[in-house]
Chain A
Amino acid sequence: QVQLVESGGGVVQPGRSLRLSCAVSGFTFSIYAMHWVRQAPDKGLEWVAVISSDGSNKQYADSVKGRFTISRDNSKNTLNLQMDSLRAEDTAVYYCARKWFYMDVWGKGTTVTVSS
């Protein structure tokens, strides 16, 4: 069945880096665009980044532009999010989600806490 599993979350100090991954199964990963969406504690959803099916097009929310990098490895069915220069306000559950114009399948999320 279609499955997205995020990993890589944890506690990190401000200014440090963290790399999230999303392993997918149950569908042809290489034909789908993918998103990262985050949710700060007791807050709403915030779109973070998108990558096209072949990785040629990427876009980021203003809040993470220049600090986060989205990438994918279609040979390994894996989506990544490299997060640099982390700030306290990046603390959130990070979800990966499938498809371009809307997100039809979501992972369960991985928690990132930025704290000294």
Chain B
Amino acid sequence: QSALTQPPSASGSPGESVTVSCTGSSSDIGGSNYVSWYQQHPGKAPKLLICEVNKRPSGVPDRFSGSKSGNTASLTVSGLQAEDEADYYCSSYAGSYNWVFGGGTKLTVL
């Protein structure tokens, strides 16, 4: 159950696009259609942003998009806004009733 690898930080100016990567293995991301992304503001609970690699739950702006290639998943935030400043976590179902999270990426809006 090794954690997925995310860059500790990312940044962008308002209106720009930022992509956060999440690298795992063939046992999790590479072998799963159940990659999800969560947004967490300080002191708050995580919020589901993306499920099943690239699906947005109702209410999530279409500025947020997800993708996967091989063992790496990506979250892209387009048209950055001040309220997007938060921590972002990826997660994957790893089979055999196991789940794994990434270490988190702190997104700063400059």
**Which residues does A use to contact B, with CB under 8 Å?**
35, 37, 44-47, 50, 57, 59, 61-62, 95, 97, 101-109
Contact = CB atoms under 8 A, between A and B. Distances in A.
Contact of B99 (A47, A104, A105): A47
A50 B98 CA distance: 8
Contact of B46 (A57, A61, A62, A95): A95
Given A37-B101, A45-B101, A47-B91, 10 more contacts: A44-B103, A45-B89, A45-B91, A45-B104, A47-B98, A57-B97, A59-B96, A61-B98, A62-B1, A95-B46
A107 B99 contact: no
B98 A59 contact: yes
A1 to B, nearest CB: 13
Nearest to A102: B36
B48 A102 contact: yes
Contacts of A107: 45
Size category of the binding interface on chain B: 20 to 34
B29 interface: no
B51 A44 contact: no
Q: B3, B89, B99, B100 — which one has the most chain A CB atoms within 10 A of its CB?
A: B99
Contact of A59 (B45, B89, B97, B103): B97
A2 B91 CA distance: 22
Given A62-B1, A101-B34, A50 B99 contact: yes
B102 A106 contact: no
B73 to A, nearest CB: 12
B104 A44 contact: yes
A66 B89 CA distance: 27
B109 to A, nearest CB: 21
Contacts of B52: 101-102
A104 B51 contact: yes
A41 to B, nearest CB: 12
29 contacts: A37-B46, A37-B101, A44-B101, A44-B102, A44-B103, A44-B104, A45-B89, A45-B91, A50-B97, A50-B99, A57-B97, A61-B98, A95-B45, A101-B34, A101-B36, A102-B36, A102-B52, A102-B91, A102-B93, A103-B46, A103-B48, A103-B91, A104-B57, A105-B48, A106-B45, A106-B47, A107-B45, A108-B44, A109-B45
